[in-house]
Amino acid sequence: MKTKTILKSLIIAIIMLAGSLQADAQENQKKSIFGIANRVGLGVGAGTEGIGIDVATPLSRYVHASFGVNIMPDIKINTTATATIEELGQDEEIDITGGIGRTTFNLKFDCYPFPNSSSFFVTAGLSFGGDKLIKITGHSDELAALVAQGKDAGI
């Protein structure tokens, strides 16, 4: 019985402490516009790197940091192409498989040299992730044989 009473008292104390810390954090946020991670921004967009999601927060009055991920959806294309070898007067059909897609991650820091008087800022950061945006593969046995014959002939 004593264990249950102590456990209940501990839970109530934790809840009261958490409520107190939350109220204190809100009060501090009202006092200062700028502060370390006192607010968080969420951004969603679409661009040349794909669909992006960013999370940003201030680190100081002069520097804000953001982390994001960009996802280019994996789009597959299957088609045929005609390769023409004019010197031989020959056309060959090639089955081609292509795909576009990759995921990249961004880490950026925005520097506000004049935080109170201007919205001017400079951004520095890095982006890392997939190194290939488009991949195309195809094969033709006839063209492979012609290339091998050309190599044998010194071409």
Per-residue model confidence as pLDDT tens digits over 112-141? 998 888 889 999 999 888 777 777 787 777
Question: Could you give the CA distance from residue 115 to residue 125 in angstroms, rounded to a whole number?
Answer: 20
Higher pLDDT, 143 or 78: 78
The whole-number average pLDDT for the span 44-59 is 89
CA 117 to chain centre: 32
Higher pLDDT, 13 or 88: 88
- At 146 the pLDDT is 75
Counting beta carbons within 10 angstroms of the beta carbon of residue 77, is it exposed (0 to 12), middle (13 to 18) or buried (19 or more)?
exposed
- At 92 the pLDDT is 79
- Using pLDDT thresholds of 50, 70 and 90, give the confidence band for residue 50: confident
- Using pLDDT thresholds of 50, 70 and 90, give the confidence band for residue 13: low
**Closest by CA position to 110, among listed 152, 62, 53:** 62
